[in-house]
Amino acid sequence: MTSPYSSPDDLPSVVPIFPLSGAILLPRASLTLNVFEPRYLALVDHALANKRLIGVVQPAGETGSTESPRGKSFPVRNVGCVGRITSFNETEDGPEVISLTGIARFELGDELASDTPFRVFAANFLPYADDFIRDLGEDEVDRVRLLSTLRRYLETNGLHADWDRINEAANEQLVNTLSILSPYGSEEKQALLEAGNLKERADALVALAEMELAARDDSSGTSLQ
């Protein structure tokens, strides 16, 4: 299906945000969110009535370890990614499960005053105009090294994966989905989000996994050093 968003001009200059530590969204990849707080249930209702768009942004590092701080005054990161609600399910006990499909990253501008329980920011998509180009930079990704490192990481941690689906995935889908699902902290996730291109993001994924594997080897006494 052809996306209705082909350039920064196709997106609004103002977006409501869902601030969540450890969560990032990337172009044409999906993020599933369990929504249960009243302020974010209101956000989902607003988005469903207004082109289904939500910006996913992490709280700034100085907010501490809280997943989603209270209030509307805490600082947030300078870069997020807007996504469109492509799946929506309301559970019997109140929470909602939504899936966001990423469109493009954006720089946050000024926060707009509003009487909504969620926050609204000006959004500048121009610095990330390349995000609208599907598959850009796929040929530069070292897929062999990425998959080899992924296999070692999963085996070391006793995890399993659907390798048929992984092998069938295009490089953009693979790299961006792995970045979203990766178990790293908010700083590492933000670095993956802000990577300059697909190759840099893939290289960062490999470096993070290799550092964790090396640390595990050192602690278990199996390092060659």
Q: What is the DSSP string of the chain?
A: ---S--SGGGS-SEEEEEE-TT----BT-EEEEEE-SHHHHHHHHHHHHTTTEEEEEPBPGGGTT-SS-SSS-S-B-SEEEEEEEEEEEE-TTS-EEEEEEEEEEEEEEEEEP-SSSSEEEEEE-GGGGGGGSTTTTGGGS-HHHHHHHHHHHHHHTT----HHHHHHS-HHHHHHHHHHH----HHHHHHHHH-SSHHHHHHHHHHHHHHHHHHHHHHHT----
Q: Where in the chain is the domain with CATH 2.30.130.40?
A: 8-132
* CA 57 – CA 23 distance, rounded (Å): 8
The confidence score (pLDDT) of residue 215 equals 84
What is the CATH number assigned to the segment(s) 8-132?
A: 2.30.130.40
Q: What is the pLDDT along the chain (225 residues), one digit of tens a residue?
A: 567 899 999 999 999 999 999 999 999 999 999 999 999 999 999 999 999 999 999 999 776 667 788 889 899 999 999 999 999 998 777 678 999 999 999 999 999 999 999 999 999 999 999 999 999 999 999 999 999 999 999 999 898 989 999 999 999 999 999 999 999 999 999 999 999 999 999 999 999 999 999 987 666 554 322
Q: Which of 110, 47, 37 is nearest to 70 (CA)?
A: 37
